[in-house]
Amino acid sequence: MKLAIMGAMPEEIAPILEKVGEYRVSSVAGNKYYECSFGGVEVVIAYSKIGKVFSALTAATMIERFGATAMLFSGVAGAISKELAIGDLIVATKLCQHDLDITAFGHPYGYVPEGSQFVETDERLRVIAKDVAAEMGIPLKEGVIATGDQFVADAARKEWIESTFAADALEMEGASVAVVCNALNVPVFILRAISDAADMDASFDFDAFLESSAKVSADFIMKMVDRIGG
Ligand code: 4EZ
């Protein structure tokens, strides 16, 4: 097994690189990839840059070039569900692309022919996450995450995403990573800690809480890696 651990921004993987300590670095297609062995597990770590295209490129590279056989994504997200406060964790059961629209042809939002409106994550990895949360004594919400190439800082857009997809949180990479992993038959797990509420204050909250929420997510992911290494 070789585990891929990815984020979108440097801040999202910094706590992970710090934890593993030593690694080999290589560059592919404008991104750096960090490889090491951690607790008996081979890992490759990278941040993709923001958005669906860069994250799809990085996920595919980790699998095809670096031989990753499972994918753990760690990062921050905007909350939709009122149950989610800043710093809370959410695990995606399934994800959608909220900005994918060929509804002019009668298709539902987020759907393209030969694709699906929602893409699912790996159940076994979600069970590991539940075990880790129980052991830590912390709540872990599961739900739908909506992905799109937009930083959402607008109540109307957020409400549209909620009513269209029943989404609990939103971000800019999860669905594209999950699509790539499902296509290449690699189990995928998407974890996010809340940095903002995708509303008028989102950009300020994001700047204030990116680092602390990214660390909440990264620390949880590393607990999962500990358990996987057993
Ligand atoms: C994207 N990520 C934000 C990147 C923002 C600024 C330079 C997560 C995220 C997010 N995405 C946190 N809050 C969000 C929101 N309100 N809308 C979209 O994955 C880069």
DSSP result, 65-107 = TT--SEEEEEEEEEE-STT--TT-EEEEEEEEETT---GGGTP
Which of the residues 12, 122, 173, 205 is marked catalytic? Answer: 12
Is 92 inside any structural domain? Answer: yes
Is 229 inside any structural domain? Answer: no
pLDDT at 158: 98
For ligand 1, atom 9: residue with the closest CA = 77
Residue 12 falls in the annotated catalytic set: yes
- CA of residue 190 to ligand 1 center, whole Å: 15
CA neighbours closer than 13 Å in the CB half-sphere of residue 37: 2
Is 105 inside any structural domain? Answer: yes
Is the minimum distance from the CB of 132 to ligand 1 under 6 angstroms? no
CATH code of the domain covering residue 15: 3.40.50.1580
Contact status, residue 184 vs residue 63, Cβ threshold 8 Å: yes
Is 74 inside any structural domain? Answer: yes
Contact status, residue 151 vs residue 174, Cβ threshold 8 Å: no
Is 224 inside any structural domain? Answer: no
Q: How many domains does the chain have?
A: 1
Give the Å distances, CA to CA, from 75 to 16, 24, 48, 185: 11, 22, 11, 22
The overall pTM is greater than 0.85:
yes
In 171-188, which positions are buried (b, 16+ CB within 10 angstroms) versus exposed (e)? Answer: bbbbbbbbbbbbeeebbb
Q: Quick: pLDDT tens for 61-88.
A: 999 999 999 999 999 999 999 999 999 9
Averaged pLDDT for residues 94-101 = 99
Tell me the residue range of the domain where 133 lies: 2-217
- Which of the listed residues 52, 76, 80, 205 should we mutate to test ligand 1's pocket, taking the one with most ligand atoms within 8 A of CB? 76
Is 173 inside any structural domain? Answer: yes
Residue 230, pLDDT above cutoff 90: no
- CA of residue 229 to ligand 1 center, whole Å: 31
- CA of residue 47 to ligand 1 center, whole Å: 14
Atom index in ligand 1 nearest the CA of residue 197 equals 16
Averaged pLDDT for residues 4-29 = 98
Is the minimum distance from the CB of 50 to ligand 1 under 6 angstroms? yes
